[in-house]
Structure 1
Amino acid sequence: MQIQVNTSMDPDSLQTLMLLRNSRERLRERVKGEIIFAKPLLLFQERGIIYPNTINIIQGKTGVHKSRLVEAICATLLAREPGHSPNSIGFSRVEPAQRFRVLYVDTERNERDQFPFALQQIKRMAGFGMGDEVPEFDFFSLIQVPRLRRYQALELYLTLDLERVPGVETVVVLDVITDCVANFNNPDDSMLLLDFLNQQISHHNITFVCVIHENPAGGDKPRGHVGTELMNKSSSQVQIAFEQDSKRKETELIKVTTLKNRVMAKQPPVYMRFDADRHELVLAEEELIRQGEDDRRTKLSQGTLLSFLSVNLKEPIASGDLLSLVMDEFDCSRTTALARVKELLQEGNRQLISANVTGPRLEKQRRGRNEFYSIVIPN
């Protein structure tokens, strides 16, 4: 069907109709051939995480090192040597020889030391010296621009910048995106910004990495109406947070979770910590991860459970009765009780044997269709 253009239409209607017609023609041509999906720009733990021409979220509460996660992303994209690994937390380029432009837009840190230090960190991690010029790396701050004019400033800069270097793969970091609009809870402001981002990824070789705070009240919802629309429009959504112990106090263990990935299957969380000497995120050691798991379940650690059972398990007991006993004593769920009993049987006993400890151990025996648990002391 041919769309007839009525020249008597008002200019806005005519322009809208032309946009729809052009879209239809592009799609008609595209569906005639094989659809080849784009390769990811960036991998995280060997899985695609950031793809070209997409909007991506890095979210978390205040102070959880969101920006330092972004620093690792930027350094990976800007890495001086194709084989150079600028981080230890699992980011890597799919095409090591491909060059990227990175534009970092900051809205929170001061221009005297905080933001410049972060930019130095990116250069250092990417393999450049402090005084080296990195043509592919651009940056500016919106902190001096009045909030009511920030969206216009961002739109103007990006439009002119993309016209200056057409065709170059560009990754734009907006840190934080809610400060790029007058009111992040205003639907009109939010949609104006998100529509602009969508137009850019549709017509230019540009990808956005948007940093956003989560609601302070709890949960994993990005802040404001901007956060709501960002979740809907994003291709990947990564959350960074401090792990908490059993008393809900933050530990030094950092958990990075991929909440959304439109292309890849959901991947397991990655545990990190902040290295104060290097001023960057590093992968957490296995011992720290195990300690974190124990901290979250202090009320039911292996040692506590074994001590309790050594006193209260006088004779063999059926598995169901054992779980009820543990649940009542430690006020935990059946799932947690079962998991800790299994850990004690496998990991706990193995550690006792390795340490030549001859004290009590938990053992399991099958009698017919039933399993019975008992405390034994090895000879």
Structure 2
Amino acid sequence: MDKMKKYLSLILALGICMSMCVFPAAAISANEAENEVLTEDEFTELLTAEMSSNEFGGLYYEGDTLVVNVIASQKATSLRPQLAQKAPEDIDVEYRTVTYSLSELERIKNFLTGYMSDYSIMMLDANEITNQVDISLKDYSDDNIESIKAAVLSHGGKTDYLNFIDDSNNVIRSTVGYETDNNASPFSLYGKVPVSFTAKASTTQYLTGGKILIGNYAYTLGPALSASKAYSAGHGFSGTVDVKDLMGTKIGSATSHLGSVSGDWSKITPYGGEFFPVVAKATPIAGKQVYMLGATSGETVGKITRTGVSVQFPPYVTLTDMCEGNYECNPGDSGAGLFDSGAKDVLTASSNAKTYGIQSSGKFNEKGEWIGPSYFTPISNVS
């Protein structure tokens, strides 16, 4: 099971398996004695160690409602009232019965991940919303589909939950850009792109969303978790290289991390100055709204549509535990931060904005036009 899916699986078992999995009595009784309503993160921590993977079908948001999928069972019923008292006040929790557990869907997705190149698979997802395994195919032929079905059956899976997607005319590629690329729409905060709006500001603050140069390519300076630690994408270079502003001045160094569970990211350390603004981590959950702040596209808005996704990333690199969103991305946006707030809030010193992750790639048609979706590395996977 991918790390992100495993984490989300641990988030809200919400009473699954009363006889097999019981909360620590001291922890629950202490909270109940105080009649305490928890925050979302605290609620997550309370449920972390208590789940039955065979009965949990995943979770996602529909508006402000947190939907929790469970396999039909009487074991969940008795614990729900206790958990309802602890749930955050602004979140409604709804239970829905599904046929297959998330662990079963993940098992088949993980099996197929090892054969993505063999079967021309572009994307794999154990889809919590539809309770099926989505398989995006570059080769959408009947022979290829039948071969995949046979492989799944041989691995003890079922073909009932396989959903094949025709992507024969599309490609997933990175959103790295070139120094000569023109910037598109500016951030709404500024109204126009100022001359100094690169990674480097006049106050020696390096701004999230600014255009930076790493090697021979253009990226976006992504989220900063401290004044001395920010992130961007990890593709297009290897090892540790200099980061420059648009004037060619070296402002820091970037160390690449690319492939498998590492995802696609780089850690940037400044040679001087500091990164701004500093934000906190947030856990991506399908259905939550997300804002990308890219040097090319400016602010684009969408929702997180998938978590724990496997993506075949050219050239022939498989990325696992990625997230998907329906926000727009373009060349030069690689490394952009995905936030829970728009540009005006994120770039305000008093903001309590959080980041979901780091922009990596997107789906494009044969003309090179973004057709959606976009993919990002969850911030929980970086260090």
Structure with the largest fraction of helix:
1
Relative to the length of structure 2, the TM-score reads 0.22
The TM-score, its normalising length taken from structure 1, stands at 0.22
Higher strand share: 2
